[in-house]
Structure 1
Amino acid sequence: MERVVSRSTVRAKAPGKINVHLGVGAIQDDGYHDVATAYQAVSLYEIVEASEASDFSVRFSGPIPHDQLSTGADNLAIRAAMALARRGRVSGGVALSIEKHVPIAGGMGGGSADAAATLVACDELWDLHLGRDALVEIARELGADVPFALAGGTAVGTGRGDQLTPALARGQFHWVLALADAGLSTPDVYRALDEHRALHAADIAPAHDVPTVDARVLQALRAGDASMLAEVLQNDLQAPALRLMPRLAGTLELGERSGALAGIVSGSGPTIAFLCDSLESAIELQVTLSASQVLALKVTGPVPGARLID
């Protein structure tokens, strides 16, 4: 039995993320890597408006340059809508309008947030009410970070990053994001990591097949202690990201010299997340970076995952 649309327009939002820990396992036979990551959702949101339509389409707006984004069937939000339509046996399509605030190819899961917000919005638009478990099942088919964009908060991700376990995080963490003027390809960053490991195999410890999150990271999150967390921030993709975009090293140095407790490349980069000890120090760092011609945004975490608006 096919369902029909019950509302004309629905809006939803989903957050970007920071990986406060990202351990990358050895390359597998299928070319992929298992990871162990600690995600934190932060207050930088993608906003999706879904309207009833006869076919599937997407358009973009917002402060993040989006001219190069695909609007075809390969777009992750379109794929999310189509997958949900198949699952719910929906006739017709949806017109998506996405307001971009999360950097594109920036290591913060902006495309995944688009997909997660699309699932929530279309589930409501089409009156499916499939429930979170069903939406997560679809999300896992779309991409590794999409389930976390649905869940939000703080969580440990294993496997491809899509097998989530909620993690307790007390209080609020203050971050300043330094946005780069260009993106990095996630496959390129992983390839650079693999090449480095192969080249220096005699000098470095081999990567674990099944990486784990450092217990000290989870302790710091549970304690709500920014200083403790700053001591244990780790990202195996940071070094290859810096090799591919060397100017990021200068941004890292500037932020840490200007009051940040620590800085870390988020995901595959090139966005750098600086952890601060208070709102006041985050504001001061944002001003300093901006004065140095670095686009800087102040955010907090953790925040909830994909939600309806209004």
Structure 2
Amino acid sequence: MTQNWRGKAVHVRAPGKINVFLKVGAVMPDGYHDVATAYQAVSLYEDVRAYDADDFSVAFTGSIDSTGLLTDGSNLAIRAARMLAHRAGYRGGVHLEISKNVPIAGGMGGGSADAAATLLACDTLWGTELGREELLGLAARLGADVPFAFTGGTAIGTGRGDRLSPALAKGQFQWVLALATFGSSTPEVYRELDRHRDRHAQDIFPAQTQPTVDADVLQALRAGDPHMLAESLHNDLQAPALHLAPALAQVLEIGEANGALAGIVSGSGPTVAFLAADPDGALELQLALGAARHTVVRVTGPVHGARLIGD
């Protein structure tokens, strides 16, 4: 029996992510790249509340400054709602209120989390009952990271990152995130990667067309061993991200000098994720980075993907 949500909000929470491994394939004729990545959803969340409305609108609150975000039809959450309405033949609209806590353009998939949460919230609000697989199909059309924000946990992503297979991860990993005061353009970081590869073509191996995730990453995740995982962290986009934002190198140095097992730029950056050995180590690292006047957040992973929250 479909619950009637009219007159009150449907609340869905979806997580941000860290790419603990990211290998980028050679540039394709269409300008895109295939990737092989290991995603881990972490306990930094976007909260989406959906209300019945005659048209489509979105408003933002939360700990992240969202004044620069577009609220028209180009917004990813609005696109998600419109796509679902079109697919389901729903003639009404929705008003979305999004509390943002994941950095904007920070390499952690905040916009993707908004879109994933919107799909689930609107499906529930409107009673469309499309089912998980069809919602995942819509998610993949919205962006490479959206399906993972929907499923959460730990997963391997291939293709454009949207072809997911679950990965076993034992226990919890302790992360400390250093949040930048600026955003990063994912297309620009990829272009810089291509330029980097062209500049050093004589010195580095050619990129694979279809990259794969290294076996030692999967072994470290299965073992739940942060020391093993620290040895396996890898991101092909880190070098171009550092080239475009050299100050990130100092952030990495501070973290690794204050007890982090390893640090890595998350996705296309500029968020830097540090892996700690245990909760005490994460707290010490948080205090050290805070003393150096960086904005820091402690999180754990893996966590659930998009899910309904009872208010």
2:56 aligned with 1:62: no
Partner of 1:211: 211
Partner of 2:94: 94
Determine the C-alpha separation between the residues in 2 that align with 1:189 and 1:244.
8
**TM-score w.r.t. structure 1 length?**
0.98
The one-letter code of the counterpart of 2:6 is R
**Residue aligned with 1:36, SS:** strand
Partner of 1:167: 167
**Residue aligned with 1:20, SS:** strand
The one-letter code of the counterpart of 1:168 is L
Q: What count of residue pairs does the alignment treat as equivalent?
A: 308
The one-letter code of the counterpart of 1:129 is E
Shift of 1:229: 0.2
Shift of 1:176: 0.1
Partner of 2:263: 263
* Segment of structure 1 superposing worse, 225-234 or 6-15: 6-15
**Residue aligned with 1:297, SS:** strand
The one-letter code of the counterpart of 2:43 is S
Determine the C-alpha separation between the residues in 1 that align with 2:274 and 2:286.
10
**TM-score w.r.t. structure 2 length?**
0.98
**Residue aligned with 1:58, SS:** strand
CA deviation vs aligned residue, 1:264-305 (integer Å, no higher than 9, x gap)? 000000000000010011011111111110000000000010
CA deviation vs aligned residue, 1:129-164 (integer Å, no higher than 9, x gap)? 211101000000000000000000000000000000
2:196 aligned with 1:196: yes
Partner of 1:35: 35
Determine the C-alpha separation between the residues in 2 that align with 1:198 and 1:67.
37
The one-letter code of the counterpart of 2:246 is P
Determine the C-alpha separation between the residues in 2 that align with 1:128 and 1:290.
46
Partner of 1:133: 133
**Residue aligned with 1:41, SS:** strand
* Segment of structure 1 superposing worse, 237-246 or 195-204: 195-204
The one-letter code of the counterpart of 2:197 is R
User: Structure 2: which 5+ runs fail to align?
Assistant: none
Determine the C-alpha separation between the residues in 2 that align with 1:236 and 1:76.
26
Partner of 1:13: 13
Shift of 1:6: 4.8
Shift of 1:7: 2.8
- The percent identity for this pair of structures is 66
Determine the C-alpha separation between the residues in 1 that align with 2:134 and 2:64.
31
Determine the C-alpha separation between the residues in 2 that align with 1:7 and 1:138.
24
2:225 aligned with 1:233: no
The one-letter code of the counterpart of 2:226 is A
Partner of 1:157: 157
Shift of 1:199: 1.3
The one-letter code of the counterpart of 1:256 is E
The one-letter code of the counterpart of 2:199 is L
**Residue aligned with 1:287, SS:** helix
Shift of 1:214: 0.5
Determine the C-alpha separation between the residues in 1 that align with 2:132 and 2:235.
30
**Residue aligned with 1:64, SS:** coil
Determine the C-alpha separation between the residues in 2 that align with 1:291 and 1:157.
36
After superposition, residues 243-254 of structure 1 pair within 5 angstroms as: 243-254=243-254
**Residue aligned with 2:6, SS:** coil
CA deviation vs aligned residue, 1:167-217 (integer Å, no higher than 9, x gap)? 000000000000011011000100000001011111111000000001000
Determine the C-alpha separation between the residues in 1 that align with 2:232 and 2:221.
11
Partner of 1:78: 78
Determine the C-alpha separation between the residues in 2 that align with 1:115 and 1:7.
21
Instruction: Give 4+ residue runs of structure 1 displaced > 2 Å after superposition.
Output: 5-8
Determine the C-alpha separation between the residues in 2 that align with 1:7 and 1:305.
25
The one-letter code of the counterpart of 1:49 is R
User: Structure 1: which 5+ runs fail to align?
Assistant: none
**Residue aligned with 1:43, SS:** strand
2:276 aligned with 1:281: no
The one-letter code of the counterpart of 1:307 is R
* Segment of structure 1 superposing worse, 243-252 or 128-137: 128-137
The one-letter code of the counterpart of 1:94 is V
Shift of 1:236: 0.0
Shift of 1:87: 1.1
Partner of 1:106: 106
